[in-house]
């Protein structure tokens, strides 16, 4: 149904064509799911955009993209529009930026149907609601009249899927459709796509950086790296017997569930044949815990609450109990993992601890002192010792100042070191410590990759020499290989500076790798808490078992 032959894509800048995709060929058959795997910059999304004519104007292409015998690269724009959304549908990576915030969800699907299917407005509404039912959206009538910001991330993704399949396309391109979604929602989306593919008999191009996830849905896989097709084959052959070192790296970069590695292997380790899979022994773990828990608690949370009051007429007086009586103890040098689905309260808990939210009840004892209510002077002191690494480093960095200035700024506020020369020297050393270069000091945030920006965020936090760092979904949007680098960095910094971490994530495999103690949150409460390995191997809560079962495990 789709044949890509010798595809080259480059971009013309200053009269020179810079090649990005180099001579890739593949085909997609009817009723088949083809997985396209690679890191950011591998060209996987760019290849998919070329199928529907969404490349930038300065793009230069060679080769053929044959859809039902027609070369899409040679079609005029008006003829290509008949195929876009009609014969080839696409689910984009970030539904919030792909949906129009000024239109209801129902109106946006109706617009697609009216454009391609020429349906009357009376039947269009019924058709949209039936599509919402097909993608298993709850309360489809209400979703029709809801705006994108009024529904959850998983629901927005289902609206995008409904839009993509509205005209029953022959091919569906799913570009990272589950990135940053909870593992349970991710599993639901994967199951839904497989059911829809079986029903409509369409071919699906499923794009992801996560090889384990792709293995759960694809029939065949192609692996891209730096614009080159590295390897292709069935899911079984790619997973059980990968031929290329890069493919082996993607398979092994994600934290292992069956054992706890000291250092996660990275792509360069496989390429250079320097892979070490050293793991902690039970004796080492036992000795570490005995030493850890014999000390004095750094933070004691007792019956902490954070309630929000609803403002609607019908629910007046009813509170949203985001954090509802949470208790735990964190020791110096310990990592406490907080895991749970979106809306469980884990981020609100972290924000309440660092006083970005005011608690509604309970107590927080930090280094023996109650920090539940602080004045401005005391709060400034706390902010120096308790820091946070945010999920999106780009939005937390000022685009107008260099990264050197961004790291210096909080040091000046909190009087770290006595002179400008000392501070700059310290920042230059920090950049090297987090895996960047000294010459990066004068560059701006937009000049760095996602993994590099996360390293900048880490450098900015550790510049203040804190005692406690809250990592709030700090690796959830990163490629598995970059994720491995950042996780290794966080662990090495913890060992060097004796940091304590509260590590918040919806990905239980990452949390298990990082954590000494694990707390599972659900609806504002802790379902269970204890040793991370013990909870994974012997979960007591049904909710925890559901989270573990939903983790993509590969073959």
Residues 226-281 have pLDDT tens digits of 999 999 999 999 988 999 999 988 888 788 888 888 998 888 888 888 887 888 88
User: What span, in angstroms and rounded, lies between the C-alpha atoms of 293 and 295?
Assistant: 5
**Which range is least confidently modeled, 74-78, 331-335, 469-473?**
74-78
Residue corresponding to tokens 């895991």: 339
Residue 5: the pLDDT is: 97
If you compute the radius of gyration of the chain from its CA atoms, what whole number of angstroms results? Answer: 25
Residue 314: the pLDDT is: 47
Contact yes or no for 508/527 (Cβ under 8 A):
no
Residue 236: the pLDDT is: 93
Instruction: Tell me the residue ranges of DSSP E strands in 157-296.
Output: 171-175, 203-208, 220-225, 228-234
User: What percent of the chain clears pLDDT 70, i.e. is strictly above it?
Assistant: 97
**Tokens representing 110?**
């109706």
Residue 120: the pLDDT is: 63
Q: pTM of the entire structure?
A: 0.84
Residue 108 has pLDDT above 70, yes or no: yes
> Average pLDDT in the 416-425 region?
94
Contact yes or no for 201/146 (Cβ under 8 A):
no
Q: Is 462 helix (H, G, I), strand (E, B) or coil?
A: helix
pLDDT band at 488 (very low <50, low <70, confident <90, very high): very high
Residue 311: the pLDDT is: 58
Residues 180-220 have pLDDT tens digits of 678 888 888 899 999 999 998 999 999 998 888 899 999 99
Residues 4-47 have pLDDT tens digits of 999 999 999 888 999 999 999 999 999 999 999 998 888 998 99
Provide the 10 A C-beta neighbour count for residue 136.
15
Residue 152: the pLDDT is: 79
pLDDT band at 313 (very low <50, low <70, confident <90, very high): very low
**Environment class of residue 66 by beta-carbon count within 10 Å: exposed (0-12), middle (13-18) or buried (19+)?**
middle
User: What span, in angstroms and rounded, lies between the C-alpha atoms of 500 and 517?
Assistant: 12
Pairing verdict, β 59-67 and 220-225: unpaired
> Average pLDDT in the 520-536 region?
95
Q: What are phi and psi of 5, to 5 degrees?
A: -120, 120
Residues 314-371 have pLDDT tens digits of 445 578 899 999 999 999 999 999 999 888 999 999 999 999 999 999 999 999 999 9
User: What span, in angstroms and rounded, lies between the C-alpha atoms of 90 and 229?
Assistant: 22
- Between 404 and 56, whose confidence is greater? 404
Residue 317: the pLDDT is: 57
Task: State the average pLDDT for the chain.
Answer: 90
> Average pLDDT in the 142-151 region?
91
Residue 530: the pLDDT is: 95
Burial 68-91 (b: 16+ CB within 10 A, else e): eeeebbebeeeebeebbbbbbbbb
């Amino acid at each position: 149904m789709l044949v890509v032959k010798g595809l080259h894509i480059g971009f013309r800048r200053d009269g020179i064509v810079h090649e990005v995709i180099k001579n890739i060929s593949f085909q997609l058959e009817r009723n088949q799911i083809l997985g396209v795997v690679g890191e950011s910059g591998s060209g996987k999304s760019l290849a998919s955009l070329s199928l529907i004519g969404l490349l930038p104007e300065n793009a230069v292409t060679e080769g053929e993209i044959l859809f039902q015998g027609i070369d899409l690269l040679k079609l005029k724009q008006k003829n290509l529009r008949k195929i876009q959304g009609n014969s080839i549908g696409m689910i984009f990576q970030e539904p919030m930026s792909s949906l129009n915030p000024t239109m209801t969800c129902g109106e946006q699907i109706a617009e697609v149907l009216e454009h391609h299917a020429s349906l009357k407005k009376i039947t269009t509404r019924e058709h949209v609601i039936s599509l919402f039912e097909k993608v298993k959206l709850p309360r489809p009538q209400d979703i029709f009249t809801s705006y994108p910001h009024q529904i959850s991330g998983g629901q927005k993704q289902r609206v995008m899927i409904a839009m993509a399949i509205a005209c029953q396309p022959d091919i569906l391109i799913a570009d990272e459709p589950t990135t940053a979604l909870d593992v349970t929602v991710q599993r639901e989306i994967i199951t839904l796509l497989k059911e829809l593919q079986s029903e409509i008999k369409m071919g699906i191009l499923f794009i992801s950086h996560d090889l384990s996830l792709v293995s759960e849905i694809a029939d065949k896989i192609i692996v891209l790296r730096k614009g080159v097709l590295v390897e292709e084959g069935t899911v079984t052959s790619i997973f059980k017997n990968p031929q290329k070192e890069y493919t082996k790296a993607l398979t092994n970069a994600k934290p292992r569930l069956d054992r706890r590695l000291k250092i996660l292997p990275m792509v360069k380790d496989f390429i250079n044949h320097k892979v070490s899979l050293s793991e902690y022994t039970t004796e080492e773990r036992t000795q570490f815990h005995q030493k850890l828990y014999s000390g004095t608690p750094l933070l004691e949370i007792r019956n902490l609450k954070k309630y929000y009051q609803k403002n609607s007429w019908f629910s007046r007086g009813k509170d949203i109990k985001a954090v509802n009586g949470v208790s735990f103890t964190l020791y110096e040098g310990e990592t406490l993992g907080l895991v749970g689905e979106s809306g469980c309260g884990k981020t609100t808990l972290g924000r309440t601890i660092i006083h970005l939210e005011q608690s509604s009840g309970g107590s927080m004892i930090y280094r023996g002192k109650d920090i539940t209510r602080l004045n401005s002077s005391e709060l400034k002191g706390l902010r120096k010792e308790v820091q946070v690494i945010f999920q999106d480093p780009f939005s937390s960095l000022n685009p107008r100042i260099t990264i050197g200035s961004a790291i210096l700024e909080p040091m000046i506020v909190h009087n770290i070191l006595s002179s400008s020369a000392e501070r700059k020297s310290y920042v230059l050393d920090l950049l090297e410590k987090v895996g960047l270069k000294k010459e990066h000091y004068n560059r701006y945030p937009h000049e760095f990759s996602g993994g590099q920006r996360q390293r900048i965020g880490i450098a900015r936090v550790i510049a203040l020499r804190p005692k406690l760092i809250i990592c709030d979904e700090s690796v959830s949007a990163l490629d598995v290989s970059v994720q491995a680098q950042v996780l290794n960095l966080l662990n090495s910094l913890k060992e060097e500076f004796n940091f304590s971490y509260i590590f918040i994530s919806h990905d239980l495999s990452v949390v298990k790798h990082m954590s000494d103690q694990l707390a599972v949150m659900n609806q504002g409460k802790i379902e269970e808490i204890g040793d991370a390995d013990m909870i994974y191997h012997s979960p007591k809560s049904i909710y925890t078992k559901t989270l573990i079962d939903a983790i993509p495990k590969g073959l």
